[in-house]
Structure 1
Amino acid sequence: MNKIKIAVQKAGRLNEDSLQLLKECGISIDNGKDQLKASASNFPMEVLYLRNGDIPQYLRDGVVDIAIIGENVLIEKGDDIIIAERLGFSKCRVSIAVPKGVKYKGIKDLDGMRIATSYPNTVKAYFKKFDVTPDIHLINGSVEIAPSIGLADAICDIVSSGSTLFKNNLKEVEKMLTSEAVLAVSPNISEENQQILNKLLFRIQSVLKGRKSKYVLMNAPNDKVESIIKILPGMRSPTVVPLAEAGWSSIHTVVDKDSFWEVVDQLKENGAEGLLVVPIEKMVL
């Protein structure tokens, strides 16, 4: 039986989030301590734990069929590789930072400056748009200390909360791009494994839709139901069920997580009472 090979990061937050996603897709991975390869017990899948920066080449060579990887790594090392799904976690940005004491007026200030980074291709492509040519110093590892030891005037690195920059007396001055985890696909994936990927994508999309939505139940007087329904289109339309108390109904619907509080305010203004909000594990359409 064919197995699809998926690469995930060896360690760290992306590793944890990737395995959690597979778990929510109903896939059980037989992990052992310090294993570099593991199989799923209930899905035709083999997991390879690899260095993040090596994954694009493994995809390109067809060593793995798919990978959960930071989009920033693909932009740097694999911009020819197809993204099958954006996964919505491990969000960050790739930014330029300078020491806090440096007066920064604009991107032209960086012309000729020494920039330490693990993302040389990304830096070159970004600055080319502005006709600015920095002096790029390639560093694999922690780049934040480069200005303090005199190795560089600025850095380019991934930023999440900004706490690492703060600890190293740096300030973010240019946001070059935003990134999140994505599901990337090898250009050499076989037809058989493409079919397995389609099944996996269906599960992933169901999980992601569930994460982005809330199931909302509320009570309302019958004369308010019509105005509430206009606020709540739901998946097709809201479910309306008569209550035992005459003149009242229960309304059930799905609300997008990002607009939830705005919708709740409108519901209250239109007569909804007793709102109950339930998380959705999966949403299969």
Structure 2
Amino acid sequence: MSAVTSLTSLSFLHRASSPRTTSLPAIAPSLSYPRVCTKLASTVTCCSSSSSSSPSLSASVNGGVERRTVSERSAIRLGLPSKGRMAADTLELLKNCQLSVKQVNPRQYVAEIPQLSNLEVWFQRPKDIVRKLLSGDLDLGMVGLDTVGEYGKGSDDLVIVHDALGYGDCRLSLAIPGYGIFENINSLEELAQMSQWSEERPLRVATGFTYLGPKFLKENGVKHVIFSTADGALEAAPAMGIADAILDLVSSGTTLRENNLKEIEGGVVLESEAVLVGSRESLTKRNGVLDTTHEILERFEAHLRAIGQFMVTANMRGSSAEEVAERVLSQPSLSGLQGPTVSPVFCKSSQAVQADYYAIVVCVPKKALYKSVQQLRAIGGSGVLISPLTYIFDEETPRWKELLSKLGL
């Protein structure tokens, strides 16, 4: 959907609430279209409600969400993205952690993870996962941090359980044209200080982030700004005269550059990647949710820590385990996670069993693998074996302690 087409969603709210129609003079060719506007101090914020393709299970109360009581169901519910790259990467992570999702029919929105008893998997749009965490219809969810920020609106009931799942990396960033009056504008401060912006002619920003966008610019002292809700190809909005700037998710920045747009210093709202998020009320009050979360968290942590790590095993002659350990630790790439494991290798010679060799086991990152092999050889290592690691379990995952602290437990 183009940015122009998506702006028509504002007309529904216009008929419902009858706001005034605002016609804005523009630097580029402009459009006059209805907006629902709220004036806060010297900031003019324009926003619209989002429609949902899935039915809502909770009623709206005073603009918020009515939360279900924890006793209304017994099953633990985990919300996963239903489509797109985020959905595929989420399923892949779960599979790599021995938590494969079993879905009998791909058209069904409910599934299970056999390894986790009493847990239901619900496939939802990312924004609906956050909304249903707040309403009590879900207990846990896996979405992007940007989605949590935008649709969670800073709610204290949302608790980040794991903040770095290793995929979905992007940033929410403000971008402006690289030409015209913006050619020499390279920072958010310079953009805010441009003399063109006033109450009658505010900076126009096209975005789908109508909570994070206004909040960010207000906190950074940008006055005289108006937001238009738009989805899809936002990069076209400045060239079409619909907006002066856009606020959108950026990965590599290639699409921005190909549309003559540029990011500016201080214009990054947040760095985002996939996270595991939970409902505070569910984690503290619903039976079994905290235990299930602990298992999921430990599996995630063990797998993610092992990514890119290899176990290197070699044999080495030595007079004692201590003497061999000293030689190994003299090499910078052989320190391992906590140090090398050195154990005797018993050989039978002349009817006697003796330890002529010692086995060294050490974990090394992939980028230092070949250097580690060279260093082992240099100090007398032989028979070097290398195998990738699948999991590295700590005595207790640090994120579990952090979660308990957040919950006050």
> 3-state DSSP class of the match of 1:146?
helix
Partner of 1:209: 305
The 2-side partners of 1:251 and 1:206 are apart by 23
Partner of 2:54: none
Which of these residues, 124, 128, 138, is aligned with residue 50 of structure 1? 124
Q: Deviations over 1:3-33 (max 9, x none)?
A: 4211111111111111112112222322222
State the structure with more CA Rg. Answer: 2
Partner of 2:151: 77
> 3-state DSSP class of the match of 1:144?
helix
Q: Deviations over 1:35-80 (max 9, x none)?
A: 2221223422211111112221110111011000101111222132
Partner of 1:160: 251
Which of these residues, 121, 144, 151, is aligned with residue 235 of structure 2? 144
Instruction: Please tell me whether the aligned partners of residues 328 and 340 of structure 2 are also in contact (alpha carbons under 8 angstroms).
Output: no
Is 1:124 the counterpart of 2:214? The answer is: yes
CA deviation after TM superposition for structure 1 residue 225, in Å: 4.5
Which of these residues, 80, 88, 92, is aligned with residue 170 of structure 2? 92
Partner of 1:234: 336
Q: Which amino acid aligns with 2:278?
A: V
Q: Which amino acid aligns with 2:340?
A: P
Is 1:35 the counterpart of 2:108? The answer is: yes
> 3-state DSSP class of the match of 2:268?
strand
CA deviation after TM superposition for structure 1 residue 108, in Å: 3.1
CA deviation after TM superposition for structure 1 residue 266, in Å: 7.4
> 3-state DSSP class of the match of 2:166?
coil
Regions of 4+ moved over 6 Å: none
Instruction: Please tell me whether the aligned partners of residues 80 and 121 of structure 2 are also in contact (alpha carbons under 8 angstroms).
Output: yes
Q: Which amino acid aligns with 1:107?
A: L
> 3-state DSSP class of the match of 1:120?
coil
User: Once structures 1 and 2 are overlaid, which stretch shifts more, 88-97 or 59-68?
Assistant: 88-97
Partner of 1:284: 393
The 2-side partners of 1:185 and 1:242 are apart by 48
Partner of 1:67: 141
The 2-side partners of 1:248 and 1:145 are apart by 68
User: Once structures 1 and 2 are overlaid, which stretch shifts more, 106-115 or 78-87?
Assistant: 106-115
> Unpaired segments of 5 or more residues in structure 1?
none
Q: Which amino acid aligns with 1:191?
A: N
User: Once structures 1 and 2 are overlaid, which stretch shifts more, 197-206 or 7-16?
Assistant: 197-206
CA deviation after TM superposition for structure 1 residue 194, in Å: 1.8
Partner of 1:193: 289
Q: Deviations over 1:171-220 (max 9, x none)?
A: 22232221111100012311322222222222222212222533233566
CA deviation after TM superposition for structure 1 residue 256, in Å: 4.8
> 3-state DSSP class of the match of 1:253?
strand
Which of these residues, 275, 283, 296, is aligned with residue 182 of structure 1? 275
Instruction: Please tell me whether the aligned partners of residues 2 and 193 of structure 1 are also in contact (alpha carbons under 8 angstroms).
Output: no
> 3-state DSSP class of the match of 1:119?
coil
CA deviation after TM superposition for structure 1 residue 124, in Å: 2.1
CA deviation after TM superposition for structure 1 residue 109, in Å: 3.8
Q: Deviations over 1:128-187 (max 9, x none)?
A: 233112322221333222112211111111111222223333222232221111100012
User: Once structures 1 and 2 are overlaid, which stretch shifts more, 170-179 or 264-273?
Assistant: 264-273
The 1-side partners of 2:132 and 2:219 are apart by 30
Q: Deviations over 1:218-247 (max 9, x none)?
A: 566757751432544434431224578x98
The 1-side partners of 2:268 and 2:246 are apart by 12
The 1-side partners of 2:316 and 2:241 are apart by 67
Instruction: Please tell me whether the aligned partners of residues 228 and 267 of structure 1 are also in contact (alpha carbons under 8 angstroms).
Output: no
> Unpaired segments of 5 or more residues in structure 2?
1-72, 193-201, 348-354, 395-409
- CA separation of 1:48/1:228 partners in 2, compared to 1, >3 Å: closer, same or farther? same
- CA separation of 1:151/1:276 partners in 2, compared to 1, >3 Å: closer, same or farther? farther
RMSD: 2.8
Instruction: Give the aligned length.
Output: 281
What is the 5 A alignment of 1:96-107? Answer: 96-101=174-179, 102-103=182-183, 104-107=185-188
CA deviation after TM superposition for structure 1 residue 127, in Å: 1.9
> 3-state DSSP class of the match of 1:202?
helix
User: TM-score, normalised on structure 1?
Assistant: 0.85
- CA separation of 1:105/1:39 partners in 2, compared to 1, >3 Å: closer, same or farther? closer
Partner of 1:10: 82
> 3-state DSSP class of the match of 2:256?
helix
Q: Deviations over 1:235-270 (max 9, x none)?
A: 4431224578x986543212356xx43x86577468
